[in-house]
Structure 1
Amino acid sequence: MVTATMIAQHFEATIKDYPKMKLREIQRRCASEMHVNVTIDCCYRAKKIVKEKMAGNHKEEFGLLWDYAHKLRSKMPGNTIKMAVQRGLDIAISDILPRVEHRNCARHVFANWSRRKLWKSFECDFWQIAKCTTEREWEDLCSALEKKDKDAYDNLMKKSPKMWTRAFLGTTCKSDIVDNNLCEASNSSIVEARFKSIIKMLEDIRTKMMTRIVQKRKLCNGWKQNYGLLVKAKFDANKKDCVEWQLIWNGENGCELRKGSYQYTVNLSQRICSCRRWQIIGIPCSHTCAAMYHLWIQPDEYLHEYYHIDMYKKAYSFPMQPINGPHDWEKTVIQPVLPPIERKMLRRPKKNRRMAKDEPKKLKPGLE
């Protein structure tokens, strides 16, 4: 007779690697691997046995954190450890590093702003304000919003526009990103690891990063240009749009571009376009491409060096070194770290992301 203890012993390693493994999956594997039919209750008890054992190892793994950190430092000297911080980051940065540019996620700014009233109808106006690249355009869009709803405009201006609007972004880092999608994508890749114990979680993240660096190195070997495919897509779009602009050249490095009521100036020697897109992102805009083609210059020559393949390889030129298991870690004399106190809340814990009130709910397949 197969008991829950026997099932727990058989699937212990699997459940530790996949803590979110469904009971139906355990039941199916019992039939295919152990050739027995078991009930869902038996699978539940087996999974509970493994989880209790994992909880017992929880304190032991926290006690190994200093040994683990020492091993990482010995293998990869100079590593930086990022600590989680509480609220108040804006004030700390402005006090300690007053000249450092700090950006907020425009999507979260909009979510907090539209939550107060029925300002969801102003979503298009908000994103036009967030993505405009010149101060004059920003002023015109803000004036239009103020005429529509003065209260909505006043509440939006409580959050400094310099932190979430492209019109006020600096030109040093060559990025026009006004959202937090890169961080959100990184967090989504470690969701599964976050359900594991502390050492296993850190090891999963470390090995994932080790593999990612190798993959990124191989990726650039397939580039046909001196830059990546995403940059090429933006570049090609700008080159395609440049044919619509009429050009007037001043005989040196200055050009005047016109299309309908729009007019911009380009200075190739200073690498400046009055639309500011070239300065912000580092990729020649459509106005710049039109000026370069008129002067028989290839726009690729004016792409910022941050996008070059050499800079890409340099970013991934520091591989993560492999380390041995806990059996080979040097014992430190530092007082062990104690695990946080586990607080059991009432009812089943919620693991899904909190959805906004106006966010559409995902339906199961076949119910659309």
Structure 2
Amino acid sequence: MRFSNPMELKNCLTNYVVKNGYNLYYEKNDSQRLLVRCSKDSKNPSCPFRLWASWMSSERSFQIKSLVDDHNCSRIFKLGSIVTYKWIGKHFKNKLLKNPKMSIRKMKAKVSTKFNLIFSVTQCRNARRYALDEIKGSLIEHYGKVWSYDEEIMRTNPGSTVKIDVNAMPDSTTYFSKMYVCFKSVKDGWIATCKRVIGVGGCFLKGIYRGQLLAAMGRDANHHIFPIAWVVVAVENKETWKWFLNLLLSDIKMRISHGLTLISDQHKGLVQAIKERVSVVEHRQCARHIYANFKKRFKCEQYRKFFGQLLLVLLNQNLRAFFEVDKACDAYENGISKSFNSIIDLARKRPLLTMLEEIRIYAMERIFWGVIYSGVQKYEVRIGNDGYAMDLTNNTCGCRSWQVSSIPCVHVVAAISYLNRNAEDYVIPWFHTTMFLICYNHTINPLNGSSMWPEAPYMKPLPPQKRRLPGRPTLKRKMDQSERESKGKTRHTISKVGAVNRCTICRERGHNSSTCPTIPADVASTSRPKNKKPKKCKKEKAPHVEPVQVDDPHPITDALVDDPVNDVSAQPVATRQRIRKYSERITKIGLRRKVLKKEGSTDHHPMVLE
């Protein structure tokens, strides 16, 4: 048999092994020859199977020269390296194309069932990555298609807005920076029917190239999520938020921003960007994040009690007095942004264009499935002796709930029922079913596959430069203390920011033991460095030496003793004591422990223990 290269022969051998369960291995494997045998390191090493192949000298083909196709070994279910992850990825590519969200564990079970073999999780993980790369191309080719994706959106959905920003290097290479997408049908639907309330938020991306997805969410007539625009940025800061807000306000025809309400979390740079770009807008900050930030700043339990007392005081006031009217929304939390982040949780792990396509498909499916009946009917009984004045002609009530939410409150319903009228007649058109249907009357046109996208006359950008954040990389966001407590996690940590050090020697504040002023400078210099353990020296036995008797050539005589030169004063001579090294102190401590444990005595060592 002839093959164009050795790789084709190896693929055929892998198919042969998987079908029959033979333990083949490559005894010789290079670019010129291939020798295959069976049953390496098995209970039956004498299997006669042998295959020899090499290049033909007369033509450019790789041919099997000799083959002994006999086996006396038994079938096995765990093959060696002859079955590679690339082979698994090629045979499982079509299923991953239909279901790219398939988990590795599920893929391992399907592969093992299909081929009746045992595969490892690592093989399946590499095979899945290889198959997805084969489907979507490498990341360099993937990011090189962003301009073509822009052209395809503008071709199929005229009037949409797509902005791509790249960073140009001195060597003429470009790196992807950020990308903004807003479809014409979505912004037309929001302008025509939706309330002038937008929730803005962001979430982290979990792919190879990290970044953040910023999105603007509206509310339809049934208070459902209505995605308006989204942008992918490398870093969330004031500049990226201003760039996003400028494009968003331009698309929704509200560059002056009068009559617009923004609801947001306290993201990095968002508050400053709103003050600089849209200072006249009504900005409502999410109450849940205000409470979370309060708990971060004041962690003691007594402060939480004060926060609760503060809320009780505020409840006695009319909080809606600070809300602008005619917005048809009395929300003070940004739940729609959090819901959108939860919906695209799996998409955030995909490459850039794959993630954007999943968001686009989600918006298309919402428009198709969102045509459902919705009626606004609220009937409650008034409790209490408080009275509120209302004007049915001007649509006002003393509690201001009707002016803020544009939905008749319980007090208005009581008055309307007394007049035998229909309360639905007093609801503004934004909540009518016709407006709800018109909101989804605009459609997002489908796109062709990436192979049919038009070529853009721009330089293909490279993937964004990797930016490693300090610390251990994480995929999950950091939960607040209240969330950890709700999930049963009671571990608490105390921040050391602002804490004053206390010296363990003099017990004074403001310094530690290494900088204590009571220790002389020469003694402090011999101390052990901080956070460094002493090195353990290897114990070596001294060589045994036999005692030797040596005669003194100059014995001491009486004349020498009486010599006045050798007369030494009985007064002690002042000598400078040597500073003990750190290693000597460690040795002393170890000997003291041995003495206390009765493992030795002071006579065994010349050092005197105090």
Q: TM-score, normalised by structure 2?
A: 0.45
Against the structure 1 CA distance between its residues 347 and 263, is the aligned structure 2 distance closer, same or farther, given a 3 Å change threshold? Answer: closer
Against the structure 1 CA distance between its residues 362 and 15, is the aligned structure 2 distance closer, same or farther, given a 3 Å change threshold? Answer: farther
Q: Could you tell me whether the CA contact under 8 Å between 1:54 and 1:197 is conserved in 2?
A: no
- Length, aligned pairs only: 304
Deviation track 1:96-132 (CA, whole Å, cap 9, x = no partner) reads 43332222111111111122223333565566678x5
> Which residue of 168, 177, 201 maps to 2:331?
177
In the other structure, the counterpart of 1:98 is 279
Distance in 1 between the 2:456 and 2:271 partners? 36
Distance in 1 between the 2:269 and 2:349 partners? 28
In the other structure, the counterpart of 2:149 is 68
- Structure 1 residue 69: deviation in Å? 0.9
Against the structure 1 CA distance between its residues 317 and 177, is the aligned structure 2 distance closer, same or farther, given a 3 Å change threshold? Answer: same
SS at match of 2:272: helix
> Which residue of 162, 171, 186 maps to 2:340?
186
Aligned positions of 1:174-323 closer than 5 A: 174-217=328-371, 219=372, 223=373, 228=374, 231-232=376-377, 235=378, 239-242=379-382, 244=383, 259-260=384-385, 262-323=386-447
Against the structure 1 CA distance between its residues 11 and 307, is the aligned structure 2 distance closer, same or farther, given a 3 Å change threshold? Answer: same
SS at match of 2:282: coil
Distance in 2 between the 1:42 and 1:59 partners? 24
SS at match of 1:330: coil
- Structure 1 residue 270: deviation in Å? 0.9
Q: Could you tell me whether the CA contact under 8 Å between 2:147 and 2:460 is conserved in 1?
A: yes
Against the structure 1 CA distance between its residues 269 and 315, is the aligned structure 2 distance closer, same or farther, given a 3 Å change threshold? Answer: same
1:137 aligns with 2:317: yes
More helix by share: 1
Aligned positions of 1:30-49 closer than 5 A: 30-47=111-128, 49=130
Distance in 2 between the 1:74 and 1:281 partners? 39
Q: Which one is further off, 198-207 or 16-25?
A: 16-25
> Which residue of 304, 312, 333 maps to 1:120?
304
The alignment's C-alpha RMSD in Å is 3.0
Amino acid at match of 2:139: H
- Structure 1 residue 343: deviation in Å? 4.6
Distance in 2 between the 1:94 and 1:276 partners? 27
SS at match of 2:284: coil
Q: Which runs of 5+ in 2 are unaligned?
A: 1-16, 18-82, 162-180, 182-229, 234-239, 242-267, 489-610
Amino acid at match of 1:181: G
Amino acid at match of 1:40: V
Amino acid at match of 1:121: K
Distance in 2 between the 1:303 and 1:32 partners? 59
Q: Could you tell me whether the CA contact under 8 Å between 2:282 and 2:324 is conserved in 1?
A: yes
Distance in 1 between the 2:487 and 2:289 partners? 21
Distance in 2 between the 1:241 and 1:70 partners? 57
> Which residue of 455, 462, 485 maps to 1:360?
485
Against the structure 1 CA distance between its residues 14 and 341, is the aligned structure 2 distance closer, same or farther, given a 3 Å change threshold? Answer: farther
Q: Could you tell me whether the CA contact under 8 Å between 1:166 and 1:178 is conserved in 2?
A: no
Amino acid at match of 2:454: E
**Greater Rg over alpha carbons, structure:** 2
In the other structure, the counterpart of 1:159 is none
In the other structure, the counterpart of 1:59 is 140
Q: Which one is further off, 90-99 or 266-275?
A: 90-99
> Which residue of 288, 291, 294 maps to 1:110?
291
SS at match of 1:179: coil
- Structure 1 residue 344: deviation in Å? 6.2
Amino acid at match of 2:89: A
Distance in 2 between the 1:203 and 1:190 partners? 11
In the other structure, the counterpart of 1:337 is 461
Q: Could you tell me whether the CA contact under 8 Å between 2:93 and 2:135 is conserved in 1?
A: no
